[in-house]
A and B are shown apart, each in its own frame.
Chain A
Amino acid sequence: MTSDAPELSKYVTLVSADGFEFVVLREAVLISSVIKGMLDPKSQFSEARTGRCNFAEISGVILEKVVEYCQYWYKFKETENVADMDIPVELCLELLQAADFLGLDRKVFPFGATANLSHFKRP
């Protein structure tokens, strides 16, 4: 419907509350249903048009970890028996909140348990 973005760029930018910008593979962050909704080319929201998503309530530290998770998921999505990602214990609570906000707390893709919060287990 929005013909002003004929070719979707391969990367999008996620911006944290404290101004950190993360340029990420679009496909990787689509694991979040919320980010997917934001970037849906059919909607006319500003995120979809600009390719920038501002997260007013997520700090850079947490967003970095979220982005890392997205990349981790993307890299190994075809592989089995993937080792858990390393997560510092002090970030756990905030990460849980962010995951809830971004809709990362359930199986968005037919990806098995690895797309679950169990990734955030301590090593």
Chain B
Amino acid sequence: MQPGKQNEFDVCWEKLREALRDIHTQNAGNLSFEQLYRYSYKIVLSKSGQLLYDRVKEFEETWFAEKVMPPISVLITKNLVSITLDGALGTSVVERRAMGERFLKVVRSSWEHHNMCMNMIADILMYLDRGYGQEHHRPSIYTATIGLFRDNILRGNLGATGSIYQVSNILNATIIDQINMEREGDVIDKALLRSCISMLEGLFETDKERESDRLYLTTFEPYFIQTSHEFYRAECERLLREADARAWLRQTQKRLAEETARCQTTISPLSERSITIVIEEELITKHLEEFLQLEGSGIRAMIDNDRVEDLKILYSLVSRVDDKVPVLRNALSVRVMELGNEIEKNLNNTDFSIVQGASAEESAADGEKTKTKPLNASAQLTAAAIKWVDDVLLLKDKFDRLWVTCFDRKAVIETALTRSFSEFINRFERASEFVSLFIDDNLKRGLKGKTEAEVDIVLDKAITLLKHLNAKDIFESYYQKHLARRLLHGKSESQDIEQEMISRMKRELGNNFTQKFEGMFRDMNTSRETTEQYRDHVRGLGQVDEKQIDLSISVLAGNNWPREIMSRATGSSAEPKVKATYPSQIQRLQDSFFEFYSKNRNGRILTWVGSAGTADIKCYFPKIPSKTSGALSRDRRYEINVSTYGMIVLMLFNDIKEDEWLSFEDIQATTNIPQPDLVNTLTSLSVIKQFRILLKKSQTKSAAKPGDQFTFNREFVSKTIKIKVPSVNAANRVENDEERKETDEKNLETRKHVADSVIVRIMKQRKELSHTQLVNEVIQVLSGRFKPEMSLIKGQIESLISREYIERDELPDGSPTDKYKYMA
């Protein structure tokens, strides 16, 4: 550089240096921008830009060391260092906050001052960037001088205080300390914090000023996240110790809102995601299960007490963490199962009390010893079924409601709930029977006088439960039994509702399922027509007879009706076929009908089912001569409705003498009625006081049994003319264990047949299948009816192989493969 030039530089620099000082001391009012700009312009034009650039930096560094750092150092007392960074205790919060604020304020003001000065200086040195910096790829003078704050202040040496920390360490710690104070409920100077944070956002690791190199991101945020983890870990542990899930939910929700707001007002929006993750981890995920397990406030209490608000918050929290909400889902499933088991347990407990309550009532209302237990048993069963269904539906309603109001109709939750409902319903072994009983009861009497909408609700309930049942085949057989009883005994409340029920089942479960039920209806309708035609036929014969017996007949096609009804007439394989002997009048009627019936239907066989029919008998009780007053002194005529067997039995007494007794065995021999039916019949006629048309010699409450003697009760009195003798199920109560076992065996047998037919059908169609494929297909087809056991399928495959429907495929060398072939 030439001496003249050097001289000119010195002159200009001297002027600029003075100006820099004036700017720093805020005395720039008299300085002329144009003049200062011209100095720097000249320096740059004379190719001394680099020198100027370095001199300015040098000036600033000296300025920092002499004027800025000392006041900051003064405030970094041992105390501040130890409480913010070393975690020492012993200072009051107020003191600590004041100390921190003083420090932050000095940092802020020196930063703001520096920033403003650097803006002004950069303006007058504008030409330096244009004429020198850009050409030589130097950071702009503004960037360079701003960066000096980082190097000289934030990373400045604190030798004076003997601390190993930099100002930035203390700055970060102080900010965190203030934030933690706010988290604890103190009021802090948010604007002050925000200024310090925006300083960190405005400074970069290097003068290259890369976005990811903001000091905020490189130094403050990691520290902030780490300390927040510590803070919330401690908070969560405290909440866990306090063991109140409600408080935990609300605190977590509050914290989330607070931190989000803090990112907007106090620190940087850049950290919003990271800090919410901290809360999600520390406050939600880590101890979620423990909080849910809490007695009295956990998920159980929330569900049991319908704490909708709690559940809503809970859902909103857990769904942040994992969209599939596995923990909540499981907790709900577990609770559903527990409540389901409780229903079952309650049922068992309640059962007893009903028995006691009912019999107590009975004896209070009627001092006479009566034989009511069997009646009670079935009534009880119905009551239990209704209670069970109601409880289950109540439970389901409850969870459905929670699902809508609290869980945002989340699909995975619905699936989990449905699965657990199915599970506990199916674990209850009488579920199928109870669902059918529930429908039975409603169709028999429950729906009387209800509006269409109410009926609809009941049907919906039934279908809802039905959908959950796995063993639909068992339900089917119960429904068949119950439906048969309703139809044959005319107990059904409404034909329309019956049809509606069946068409709903059809919609839900398919045509196959309701085939038999529809067949039963068809039989009943055809029978009505047949009866009409027969009456016309009889009238046509012109045999008008006072004593003509009016016949109403139901012709039942064997397949559609429950075996219990059919087998008693045809005789199951075990017992010999018995045919009751009907009185001659009846036999004539039967023959006449058969003749009429077979005229159009050749080759059909009719079997009379005495246990399923009823008869109206006009009974005449002559007056008792010894009595002069009261009902007994007059002749009495009653119309008594009894079962067909009852009629046969009663007709025997038409011809006996006044004090003649017929023994059980005599009756059995004459009528040939199967013993269990006879027991029922005689019990119904001789034990219950209101219906005691026969007298039993040993006047006990117990059921009639072989050895008993019976005679006609001449002193029978009834308030009503028409009497319906209830059918008593004395010999054959509600299914007992043995019968249940029998039923189960029968079911198993049926299932085997069904499985057989499915396997054969599949193999016939596919010709060749591997074992797994076959099993899968079979399961798929069967699942509409019941859940097949693996062993059942395997067993039936074996059995079909031995019966040569299918064969195991063989390799050329004769060793078997796991394939099956259909044998035509």
- By a CB distance below 8 angstroms, the chain A residues around B721 are none
- By a CB distance below 8 angstroms, the chain B residues around A54 are 32, 34
Given A43-B28, A49-B29, decide whether A103 and B116 contact each other with a Cβ distance below 8 A. Answer: no
- By a CB distance below 8 angstroms, the chain A residues around B31 are 44-46
Name A84-105 residues within 8 Å CB distance of B. 101, 103
User: Looking across the interface, which residue of chain B has its beta carbon closest to that of A40?
Assistant: B123
User: Looking across the interface, which residue of chain B has its beta carbon closest to that of A45?
Assistant: B33
Q: Are B34 and A56 in contact (CB under 8 A)?
A: yes
Partner of A46, one of B26, B33, B37, B126: B33
Q: Are B34 and A47 in contact (CB under 8 A)?
A: yes
A25 within 8 A of B: no
Q: Are A56 and B35 in contact (CB under 8 A)?
A: yes
When chains A and B are docked, how far (Å) is the Cα of A52 from the Cα of B126? 20
B30 within 8 A of A: yes
Of the listed stretches A30-38, A70-78, A111-119, name the one at the interface; the rest are far from the partner chain. Answer: A30-38
Q: Are B34 and A44 in contact (CB under 8 A)?
A: no
Q: Are A47 and B32 in contact (CB under 8 A)?
A: yes
Q: Are B126 and A42 in contact (CB under 8 A)?
A: no
Interface size class on chain B is 20 to 34
When chains A and B are docked, how far (Å) is the Cα of A66 from the Cα of B34? 16
B120 within 8 A of A: yes
Q: Are A44 and B26 in contact (CB under 8 A)?
A: yes
Given A38-B34, A55-B34, A57-B38, decide whether A103 and B29 contact each other with a Cβ distance below 8 A. Answer: no
Partner of B124, one of A37, A46, A48: A37
A53 within 8 A of B: yes
- By a CB distance below 8 angstroms, the chain B residues around A44 are 26, 28-29, 31, 120
Q: Are A43 and B33 in contact (CB under 8 A)?
A: yes
When chains A and B are docked, how far (Å) is the Cα of A53 from the Cα of B400? 79
User: Looking across the interface, which residue of chain A has its beta carbon closest to that of B26?
Assistant: A44
Name B2-50 residues within 8 Å CB distance of A. 26, 28-38, 41
Q: Are B120 and A53 in contact (CB under 8 A)?
A: no
Interface size on A, residues (CB 8 A): 21
- By a CB distance below 8 angstroms, the chain A residues around B127 are 34, 101, 103
Distance in angstroms from A64 CB to nearest chain B CB is 18
B130 within 8 A of A: yes
A1 within 8 A of B: yes
- By a CB distance below 8 angstroms, the chain B residues around A56 are 34-35, 38
User: Looking across the interface, which residue of chain A has its beta carbon closest to that of B123?
Assistant: A37
Q: Are A103 and B33 in contact (CB under 8 A)?
A: no
B796 within 8 A of A: no
When chains A and B are docked, how far (Å) is the Cα of A45 from the Cα of B23? 9
- By a CB distance below 8 angstroms, the chain B residues around A37 are 33, 37, 123-124, 126
B370 within 8 A of A: no
When chains A and B are docked, how far (Å) is the Cα of A38 from the Cα of B29? 12
Partner of A33, one of B26, B35, B38, B126: B126
When chains A and B are docked, how far (Å) is the Cα of A96 from the Cα of B598? 127
When chains A and B are docked, how far (Å) is the Cα of A55 from the Cα of B32? 10
Given A43-B28, A56-B34, A56-B38, decide whether A34 and B119 contact each other with a Cβ distance below 8 A. Answer: no
Q: Are B33 and A38 in contact (CB under 8 A)?
A: yes
When chains A and B are docked, how far (Å) is the Cα of A48 from the Cα of B32? 9
- By a CB distance below 8 angstroms, the chain A residues around B116 are 1, 42
- By a CB distance below 8 angstroms, the chain A residues around B34 are 38, 47, 53-56
Name B63-97 residues within 8 Å CB distance of A. none
- By a CB distance below 8 angstroms, the chain A residues around B29 are 44-46, 49
Give the one of B35, B36, B123 with max A CB within 10 A: B123
User: Looking across the interface, which residue of chain B has its beta carbon closest to that of A1?
Assistant: B116
User: Looking across the interface, which residue of chain A has its beta carbon closest to that of B22?
Assistant: A44
Q: Are B32 and A42 in contact (CB under 8 A)?
A: no
- By a CB distance below 8 angstroms, the chain A residues around B38 are 56-57
Partner of A45, one of B28, B41, B130: B28
When chains A and B are docked, how far (Å) is the Cα of A46 from the Cα of B32? 5
- By a CB distance below 8 angstroms, the chain B residues around A103 are 126-127, 130
User: Looking across the interface, which residue of chain A has its beta carbon closest to that of B28?
Assistant: A44
When chains A and B are docked, how far (Å) is the Cα of A38 from the Cα of B120? 10
When chains A and B are docked, how far (Å) is the Cα of A69 from the Cα of B318? 66
When chains A and B are docked, how far (Å) is the Cα of A45 from the Cα of B120? 9
Q: Are B32 and A34 in contact (CB under 8 A)?
A: no
When chains A and B are docked, how far (Å) is the Cα of A47 from the Cα of B120? 13
Q: Are B119 and A42 in contact (CB under 8 A)?
A: yes
When chains A and B are docked, how far (Å) is the Cα of A33 from the Cα of B124? 11
User: Looking across the interface, which residue of chain B has its beta carbon closest to that of A39?
Assistant: B33
- By a CB distance below 8 angstroms, the chain B residues around A53 are 33-34
- By a CB distance below 8 angstroms, the chain B residues around A34 are 37, 126-127
User: Looking across the interface, which residue of chain A has its beta carbon closest to that of B32?
Assistant: A46
Distance in angstroms from A21 CB to nearest chain B CB is 14
When chains A and B are docked, how far (Å) is the Cα of A76 from the Cα of B450? 86
Distance in angstroms from B122 CB to nearest chain A CB is 9
- By a CB distance below 8 angstroms, the chain B residues around A43 are 28, 33, 119-120, 123
Distance in angstroms from B425 CB to nearest chain A CB is 72
- By a CB distance below 8 angstroms, the chain A residues around B124 are 37, 45
Give the one of B28, B32, B120, B130 with max A CB within 10 A: B32
Name B113-134 residues within 8 Å CB distance of A. 116, 119-120, 123-124, 126-127, 130
Distance in angstroms from A61 CB to nearest chain B CB is 19
- By a CB distance below 8 angstroms, the chain B residues around A57 are 38
When chains A and B are docked, how far (Å) is the Cα of A49 from the Cα of B33? 11
- By a CB distance below 8 angstroms, the chain B residues around A33 are 126
Given A1-B116, A33-B126, decide whether A45 and B26 contact each other with a Cβ distance below 8 A. Answer: no
When chains A and B are docked, how far (Å) is the Cα of A34 from the Cα of B40? 12
Give the one of A43, A47, A56, A103 with max B CB within 10 A: A43
Q: Are B126 and A47 in contact (CB under 8 A)?
A: no
Give the one of B32, B33, B119, B124 with max A CB within 10 A: B33
When chains A and B are docked, how far (Å) is the Cα of A40 from the Cα of B33? 10
- By a CB distance below 8 angstroms, the chain A residues around B130 are 103
Partner of B32, one of A1, A40, A45, A101: A45
- By a CB distance below 8 angstroms, the chain B residues around A55 are 34
Distance in angstroms from A10 CB to nearest chain B CB is 20
When chains A and B are docked, how far (Å) is the Cα of A48 from the Cα of B119? 15
- By a CB distance below 8 angstroms, the chain B residues around A1 are 116
Name B99-150 residues within 8 Å CB distance of A. 116, 119-120, 123-124, 126-127, 130
Distance in angstroms from B714 CB to nearest chain A CB is 122
Distance in angstroms from B49 CB to nearest chain A CB is 15
Distance in angstroms from A114 CB to nearest chain B CB is 21
When chains A and B are docked, how far (Å) is the Cα of A57 from the Cα of B41? 12
Distance in angstroms from A108 CB to nearest chain B CB is 12
- By a CB distance below 8 angstroms, the chain A residues around B36 are 45
Distance in angstroms from A11 CB to nearest chain B CB is 18
- By a CB distance below 8 angstroms, the chain B residues around A40 are 123
User: Looking across the interface, which residue of chain A has its beta carbon closest to that of B19?
Assistant: A45
- By a CB distance below 8 angstroms, the chain A residues around B41 are 101
Distance in angstroms from B546 CB to nearest chain A CB is 118
Give the one of A37, A42, A103 with max B CB within 10 A: A37
What is the 8 Å Cβ interface bit string for chain B, positions 503-524, against chain A (1 contact, 0 not)?
A: 0000000000000000000000
Distance in angstroms from A94 CB to nearest chain B CB is 15
User: Looking across the interface, which residue of chain A has its beta carbon closest to that of B27?
Assistant: A44
Distance in angstroms from A98 CB to nearest chain B CB is 12
Distance in angstroms from B650 CB to nearest chain A CB is 113
Interface residues of B (CB under 8 A from A): 26, 28-38, 41, 116, 119-120, 123-124, 126-127, 130
Chosen A-B contacts, 24 in total, with CB atoms closer than 8 Å, are: A1-B116, A34-B37, A34-B127, A37-B33, A37-B37, A37-B123, A43-B119, A44-B29, A44-B31, A45-B28, A45-B29, A45-B31, A46-B29, A46-B31, A46-B32, A46-B33, A47-B33, A47-B34, A48-B33, A53-B33, A55-B34, A57-B38, A103-B127, A103-B130
Name 16 extra pairs, CB < 8 A, besides A37-B126, A38-B33, A38-B34.
A34-B126, A42-B119, A43-B120, A44-B31, A44-B120, A45-B29, A45-B120, A46-B31, A46-B32, A47-B34, A53-B34, A54-B32, A56-B35, A101-B127, A103-B126, A103-B130
Closest 10 CB pairs of A and B: A45-B33, A37-B123, A38-B33, A44-B28, A47-B33, A43-B120, A44-B29, A46-B32, A45-B31, A54-B34
